[in-house]
Structure 1
């Protein structure tokens, strides 16, 4: 099972790649599989280094809040 954390596009490159921010971690990924153009600020889901689809801002924020809650609960248990 794969859980994809929403990532926000922070840079767009000329080589059909974008830099995304995933909960504070930035990395460059391919947008070759996207039919629609991406813009800075868009939220996307990534699988094995490729942007798979764009998601709604509100859905992304809700998912990120849940991931943050999971991280906090795991930290409390340690």
Structure 2
């Protein structure tokens, strides 16, 4: 099964034709490649395998992180 995690976009840069985002995921800042158009700081995205693959709103991001934390604490 594949899992995408939500994160907040902190910055957007271009490097050799690739859109590179700095995204805060669970308190950790990561650089990811964006497959999305018109992403800007403050947006929330779903990240899978180092690629931002979808945009979601803040409420969806917070609820998804809450559920992921709940699942991980039940092991």
Which contiguous aligned blocks of 4+ residues in structure 1 show a shift greater than 4 angstroms?
Answer: none
1:21 paired with 2:24, answer yes
1:37-63 CA distances to partner (integer Å, 9 max, x unpaired)?
111121111222211111122111111
Between the aligned partners of 2:73 and 2:49, the Cα distance in structure 1 is 26
Q: Which has the higher helix share?
A: 1
- Residue correspondence of structure 1 range 1-78 to structure 2 within 5 A: 1-15=1-15, 16-31=19-34, 33-34=35-36, 36-74=37-75
Q: Number of paired residues?
A: 72
TM-score (norm 2): 0.80
Give unpaired runs (5+ residues) of structure 2: none
* Higher normalized strand content (fraction of residues): 2
Query: What's the secondary structure of 1:8's corresponding residue?
Result: strand
CA distance, structure 1, for counterparts of residue 33 and residue 67 of structure 2: 26
TM, length-normalised to structure 1: 0.78
What's the Cα RMSD here? 1.5
